[in-house]
Structure 1
Amino acid sequence: MDQLKELKEAKRAAEEVIERIDHALSSLESASSWGLWDLFGGDFFSSWMKRGKIQDANMDLQAISSSLNTLNKELEDVNMRLPSEISDTLGDHAFDLWFDNIFTDIRVQGEIKDSLQELKDFRGQIISLIKKINADMQNLFQVSSLAHFQNKGYDGLVSIEEMLSYGDTGFGTYHALNGEMIVLDGIAYRALGDCRVERATRRETTPFATLGFLDDEKSYDCKINGDIKTLMERLTALTQNTQAPVIACLTGVFQEMVVHGVWPVTKPYQELNLIIRKQAIYTFQEIRGRLVGVFCPPSANGLNVVGWHFHFLSDDLKVGGHVNDLWVQSLMVTFSVKKELVLIKP
């Protein structure tokens, strides 16, 4: 949840930069208009107005520089950076207006024109940054495709550190199937073959994972009174969605939890279904914990499992794994319906 909060703060900082850029553009465009009048036969009043607008623009540029410092700090919190083309000295521009003659007027008019273009280009880059932040918040992300993964694609493709920049909630597995992955609160856990849980390192890699940012502003008390099939039906009714991806966290006491983990494999790799058949299945009674649930619509066929899929993590962080079945009375459910499923690695 902290990562989502940081993304929202970064977006607000970027929007503040846009507001300041727009104000500077207005000042510079006005200065340019007064400058043309001053250049082609203006009087003291036009020169005075031009100088006033340029002073406004100088203050705006300083304000942009201050806002950029804030934005850079917010972007560091979410492992993002401003585009390299954006000059760190944008706010250092100042116009020398102490000499009022034709040569100075021409030079200043040229500087205004250059700064206008630079600010417009800069504004476009910040808009692109905001779009990326929006995509990070609104989409569900996936490392590799299910088709590739099932075709013995067990070698890690993306580091856990990079993966976590795309979401704070999700699941998957690790290089060479070294455990079932559960991601909650921006932390990646591993459920081993005996369903014991340990925390993964950020240096490890994943061949297959699905995750996104979960907005916890609204939770629902969902009555289940049934097994995993009943849970899926209740969630589909609750989300009122069958055509878009969903990421969910479900919290409660499970009367029964049936899970499996996975032990790492070595090359030459076997078929996935043969590996899974060899894994032991464990049943836990009256266990408190959280489910990470992902729903993928029919349009995701081939990319991911269509329908609901769950991984479990106990509250004491001792056991977890891929959920085979369960029985539960009720759960607190938090979910986010996402715009689309985005592949970040082929």
Structure 2
Amino acid sequence: MDDDKNYQNDDSYDEDDGIYSYPDEVQIAEAREAGNQALASLQVARESLTKASGWGMVDLFGGNIISGAMKYARINDAKKQIAQAKLDVQVLSEKLGNLPGVDSIHLNVDGFLTFADFFLDGAVADILVQAKIERARGSVDTAIASIKDALNNLPA
């Protein structure tokens, strides 16, 4: 019976259920924290992609090397935030399992396309880069929705 007294003094023991609930609460809190961090990273990435898209439109319709440089600066910002979000999502996935749409976030503007965009400065390269930006933004939106859904389904 002394064991019962020890359990009753322990905050993690639930008398009604007769089980410990503390580890689950900790996992839920950790999952919520990881999810919120991933959302923050993805929202910053989305802002960077939106800015890159705006600079891409300027570049497409008569921009110059400055607009191209600004576009790639925002693309690089987005890549960093996407990489951080993937790390945050990895922590979240450890707590909740795989989240659909999160692993598919990619922003791959390869070396040749970057070279073509800067040095050949043609509409085709501008359109291809713009399409990649828009696909990445769509992927980020899907990941944001997936994480929000997962967080909303966590117990309160």
TM-score range, shorter chain: 0.7 to 0.9
Asked if 1:64 is matched to 2:85, the reply is yes
Task: Measure the CA separation in 2 of the matches of 1:15 and 1:46.
Answer: 33
| TM-score, normalisation: structure 2 | 0.76
Q: State whether structure 2 residue 107 is matched by structure 1 residue 86.
A: no
Q: 1:151 matched to which residue of 2? A: none
* Distance in 1 of aligned mates of 2:135 and 2:103: 17
Superposition map of 1:305-316 within 5 A: none
2:130 to 106, 109, 122: 109
2:24 and 2:125 map into 1 onto residues whose CA distance is 50
For the residue of structure 2 that corresponds to 1:98, the secondary structure is: helix
- d(CA) in 1 for partners of 2:34 and 2:82? 16
- What is the SS of the residue equivalent to 2:115? coil
What CA distance in whole angstroms lies between the structure 1 residues aligned with 2:115 and 2:36?
35
Instruction: Report the TM-score, using the length of structure 1 for normalisation.
Output: 0.36
Distance 2:116 2:82 in 1: 22
CA-CA distance at 1:4 after TM superposition: 0.7
Letter in 2 for 1:9: E
Query: Where in structure 1 are there 5+ consecutive unaligned residues?
Result: 76-80, 138-346
What's the offset of the Cα at 1:114?
Answer: 1.3
Q: Is the 8 A contact 2:49 2:78 kept in 1?
A: yes
Asked if the contact 2:108–2:132 (Cα under 8 Å) also holds between the matched residues in 1, the reply is: no
Residue 123 (structure 1) aligned with residue 148 (structure 2): no
Distance 2:130 2:93 in 1: 31
Give, in whole Å, the separation in 2 of the partners of 1:30 and 1:56.
10
Distance 1:40 1:88 in 2: 33
1:9 aligns with 2:14: no
SS where residue 82 of structure 1 aligns?
Answer: coil
Shift of 1:98: 2.2
Q: Which has the higher helix share?
A: 2
The structure 1 residue matched to 2:70, chosen from 49, 52, 66, is 49
Q: Residue 58 of structure 1: CA displacement?
A: 1.1
For residues 183-230 of structure 1, the C-alpha deviation after alignment (integer angstroms, 9 at most, x for no partner) is xxxxxxxxxxxxxxxxxxxxxxxxxxxxxxxxxxxxxxxxxxxxxxxx
Structure 2 SS opposite 1:60: helix
Offset, 1:35: 0.3
Which contiguous aligned blocks of 4+ residues in structure 1 show a shift greater than 3 angstroms? none
Give the number of aligned pairs: 128
Percent of matched pairs sharing the same residue: 25
Aligned twin of 1:99: 116
What's the Cα RMSD here? 1.4
Decide which structure has greater strand share. Answer: 1
Q: CA deviation at 1:89?
A: 4.2
